[in-house]
Structure 1
Amino acid sequence: MPATTENQGSFLGRISIRRNQVMSMDGTHDQEMEDLELFQKHVGDRFSELFSTTTEDSSGDALLSISWLRRLLDELLCIEAEFKAVLLMGRDPSQIAKPPLDKLLPELLDRFVKSLDVCNAVVLGLDAVKNLQRLAEIVVDALEVTPLGDGQVRRAKKALSALIAAMLHEDNAYAKGTERNRSFGRRSGNSGSNSKDWVRALSWTMARNWSASKQIHAMMSNLAAPRGAESSGLAQPVYIMSTVLVFVMWAFVAAVPCQERNGLGTHFPLPRQLNWAQPLIGLQEKIAEEWKKKEKKGNVGLLEEMHRMEKLGQSLIEFADSFQFPPETERLDEMKRNVEDLAEICKKMDQGLEPMQQQIREVFHRIVRSRAEFLVVLDQAGKLSAPAV
């Protein structure tokens, strides 16, 4: 990738060294402009790489696949680190308390808070996906038996019926929950044998009236590109950070089962004249196309592995419904290929879901720390600007 961890370290080191040097005001301004341009370039490079290597199938990092989403989280974490370096490292607190940052920063911090709820919902949604994975593993275990008999097919059909029913469950089923619990790490403990288990995994911890769609739209509120002189100052990285954060949360809510997602398909406008925004616009359009194509706003999400699992599940249910012993060779061969594909999906889920949950937890805690750091700096700026008594 063009924007590697090594490049990031070089970028952060450069800012640290520069701000510890004694330079003229003109030199400082010129260097700062270079830093802002480099930050924008890094953001553009990261998403260009993500866009250009996104595949249309499962051969690589398919759009909204587990591997693709994990890369997206990595990019968010890298961009967030560089953003803080640009805005905070070695800077006089009074500089970020002046217009327009005195308005833009509180708005960003509010988006930080809202994104924490989205992180919570996504982690819980991935627990729900794990329940789907367990059902699929039951199917694989039953249909891999040789020779295949009526008992194995009945067992597979029962799990398949629960799997398909869970995937078609409407979002409003999530709203049957009671009390909200914002802490990470709580597990449902369900075996996955009931199609409602994955709903409970979410509903136990999200408020009855919480809506993923409304949360994302609230994060988009007041998200406008800086104009005029502000477009070349510190308002620009604040806007970039807000945009990247909203995009990542929007993509995850689209991919992973979350409570109440109706209306999510409406994507937020991005200024096409900004170079760093071009790959983001391309990815946004691709995801919106997938959303419209499936026309299932009440399904469990656009996660690539779940989409493939649903198609294979439908095919295997047809096989189970018409099963007669001994099965026809041609139909048996087709079933085995489908079972092999389903087993491969389960393997990818087994390897990727837990690490992705850990990444989202890392994003959650990083956002909490960053918000606290900004609040400290803003508090310091407030004390410096307060009139002496």
Structure 2
Amino acid sequence: MPPTDNHNHNSGSFLNRISIRRNQITSVTDVNHEQELEELDLFQKHVTSRFLQLSQQNDETESVILLSISWFRNLLDAYLCCESEFKAVLIIGRDVSHFSKPPLDRLLPDHLDRTVKALDICNAITHGIELIRHWQRLAQIAVDALDQRPMVEGHVRRAKRALNTLLASMMVDDKEQNVHVGRSAERMWSIGRRGGGGGCPPTTMAVNHNRRISASRSFSSCFSKTWSASKQIQAMSTNLVVPRGGESTGLALPVYIMSSVLVFVMWTLVAAIPCQERAGLGSHFQLPKHLVWAGPIIGLQEKIGEEWKKKEKKGTAGLLDEIQVIEKVARNLVAFTEEFEFPVGPEKMDDVAKQVAELAEVCRKVEVGLGPLQLQVRELFHRMVRSRAEVLDLMDQVGKLTSVMSF
């Protein structure tokens, strides 16, 4: 993906610049205020440019469709680059005593708490990706059946069963998804297999937990009946307050920016990919419009929010572009299978062939794109675990230093 190379190059240059400049002076004095302002300004510019590029990728000059799998891969790439630069601004060459002073002594624990909630969402997203993979397999069954020539009633019945199962699974209400999604996935897993053996769907990410992250968090595909993706997003946006006064030019600013970017990325993933309980998702997260770096994110949020309002009215399974196409074509083909009579006229056959070709193409995109997207979600998960551990180590050092000084 071309944007990945550019982002990684810019991020690497940014990290090297901070590391070299701070190493040159930290042996003599702390990083001076002027340099810190320059680093903060550069960080904001990089955040702005990355999300501006994401907001422009559905224009006529770009080939990436908003909310498509390719777009989400670019979104996660942008987040990972921003996260690397955020750590550089916050940690590299920094005197650990900064973390014990206001407002960081309050803001960093809040940010780390958001990270823990984001880990739960990553797990839910991974499970949702597995569900989309099952939908793709069902759609592919229909494609294979309706591609047969001559098309006879047996082929059409097989396609109809697969498409009806697909659409029924897509229409499961978010509130009921925890109850039904496991059974739906299990049915989808077995469709098309000889003998119909109901194999269990694969589990989601398995990770070695850092000792500081809540002890016994499970990363299976099961969630509590009370778990809500929408409430997770709402909780993540709580206490997300714009720095004011002197805080607006200090380290409080990058913490606020990174927390905002994290909430936006999680919000977008939850809106697009099947998750448990997403009611009212559109009203949970707002950014102040006067901040330059927030402009492109607000623009994206407004576009996605409008799509979400349509989604809630229709009750579809998610805003991911490929899901929308699969659902639309599946409905058209179900209508054809219900009215099927042999032989099919040439005009009708041409129309069905076009629909099948469109479904085949989106199945190909899903099959090619879901694996890399799932790997990126896993990388995002592990990156957050590592970053959280690094910040906690610094805070531990502050605690030990304070204890020694007080003693």
TM-score if structure 1 supplies the norm length? 0.92
Instruction: Tell me, in whole angstroms, the C-alpha distance in 2 between the residues paired with 1:198 and 1:55.
Output: 41
In structure 2, relative to structure 1, the CA distance for the partners of 1:190 and 1:156 (3 Å cut) is: closer
Which of structure 1's runs of 4+ aligned residues deviate more than 4 A?
23-27, 187-190, 196-204
Offset of 1:60 from its aligned partner? 2.6
Q: Describe how 1:363-374 pairs up with structure 2 within 5 A.
A: 363-374=380-391
Within 5 Å, which residues of 2 pair with 1:41-60?
41-55=45-59, 60=63
Structure 1 counterpart of 2:378, from 358, 361, 364: 361
Distance 1:197 1:275 in 2: 51
Q: What is the aligned partner in structure 2 of residue 66 from structure 1?
A: 69
Report the Cα distance in structure 2 between the residues aligned to 1:29 and 1:240, rounded to whole angstroms: 19
Which of 84, 105, 114 pairs up with 2:87? 84
Equivalent pair of 1:112/1:367 in contact (CA under 8 Å): yes
Q: Which residue identity lines up with residue 40 of structure 2 in the other structure?
A: L
Distance 1:75 1:144 in 2: 40
Confirm or deny that 1:137 pairs with 2:140.
Answer: yes
2:110 paired residue number: 107
Cα 1:213–1:14 shift into 2, 3 Å: same
Given that 1:125 and 1:257 are in contact with CA atoms closer than 8 Å, whether structure 2 keeps it comes out as yes
The AA in structure 2 aligned to 1:315 is: N
Structure-2 change in CA distance of 1:198 and 1:148 (3 Å) = farther
Residues 178 and 222 in structure 2, CA contact (< 8 A), matched pair in contact too: no
- Indicate the residue corresponding to 2:37 in structure 1: 33
1:14 counterpart residue number: 17
2:166 is aligned with 1:149: no
Contact 2:233 2:284 in 1 (8 A): no
- List aligned pairs for 1:154-233, cutoff 5 A: 154-176=157-179, 191=189, 193=191, 204-233=221-250
- The Cα shift of 1:168 comes to 0.9
Change (3 A) 1:309 1:263: same
> Is 1:310 aligned to 2:327, yes or no?
yes
Alpha-carbon distance in 2 for matches of 1:144, 1:360: 34
Q: Which runs of 5+ in 2 are unaligned?
A: 193-197, 205-219
What do you get for the CA RMSD once the two structures are aligned? 2.7
For 2:359, which of 342, 366, 375 is the aligned residue? Answer: 342
In 1, the alpha carbon distance for the partners of 2:177 and 2:60 equals 31
Q: CA deviation at 1:25?
A: 5.8
Inter-CA distance 192–216: structure 2 relative to 1 (3 Å threshold)? farther
**What displacement does 1:26 show?**
9.0
How far does the alpha carbon of each residue in 1:224-270 deviate from its partner, in whole angstroms, 9 at most, with x for none?
11011111110000000000000000000000000011111214221
Matched pairs, number: 380
- Which segment is superposed worse, 69-78 or 19-28? 19-28
1:125 matched residue in structure 2 = 128
Whole-angstrom CA distance in 1 between matches of 2:340 and 2:119: 48
Distance in 2 between the 1:178 and 1:149 partners? 32
Separation (CA, whole Å) in 2 of partners of 1:218 and 1:111: 8
TM-aligned CA deviation for residue 177 of structure 1? 8.0
Deviation at 1:300, TM superposition (A): 1.7
Partners in 1 of 2:191 and 2:297 — Cα distance? Answer: 39
CA distance in 2, matches of 1:12, 1:55: 31
Identity of aligned residues (%): 53
User: CA-to-partner distance for each residue in 1:34-89, whole Å, 9 max, x for gaps?
Assistant: 000000000000000110122489x8321111111111110111000000000001
Alignment partner of 2:97 out of 61, 71, 94 = 94
Question: 1:284: which partner in 2?
Answer: 301
Question: Is contact 1:174-1:259 (8 Å) kept?
Answer: yes
Cα distance between partner residues in 1 of 2:314 and 2:18: 45
Q: Deviations over 1:321-370 (max 9, x none)?
A: 11111111111101100100100011001011111111101110110011
Deviation of the 1:295 alpha carbon: 2.8
Q: State the distance in 2 between where 1:26 and 1:363 align.
A: 32
Matches of 2:85 and 2:169, distance apart in 1: 41
* One-letter amino acid of the structure 2 residue matched with residue 147 of structure 1: P
Deviation (angstroms), 1:174: 2.3
